[in-house]
Amino acid sequence: MVGVHDLAGRPRGTGFLADHHGTVITSHEAVDGLARLVLHAPGGRTCVVDADAVTPLPALDLALVRSEGLGLDPLPVTARDRVASGTYVTLAAGCWREARVLGATTVTYTATDRFHRLDDALELAIGTAGRDAL
């Protein structure tokens, strides 16, 4: 996992390496409005990148960040047209955890320029308590 911080050191989000070329996938709001950001990898490795290294994808709530020298292996990524309710997925939530898909829902998030609506976000039940989370 890669920590995404602003230049003052404030955490903005997390991401992961998606390929051997140094592409980090993170959320759009983690990089939104930043002229420069600092990526932190395990082992104390850091990489400072300018906004021109960021490809924002606000309609997907994603951003691609070109990085160098993080020394991480990429995580496998898969894409599906649909994920059925009851399917278990693995996610990073402080550690690797399993969550059960409850269904799809529409959510919004606020970026610097406007609100973004995301259709088909997965509603998840995380942990043994079975409480709902997005």
When pLDDT is cut at 50, 70 and 90, the band that residue 24 belongs to is: very high
pLDDT tens-digit map of 31-79 = 999 999 999 999 999 999 999 999 999 888 899 999 999 999 998 877 7
* All domains in the chain, ordered by first residue: 2-66 (2.40.10.10), 88-133 (no CATH)
DSSP state of 53: G
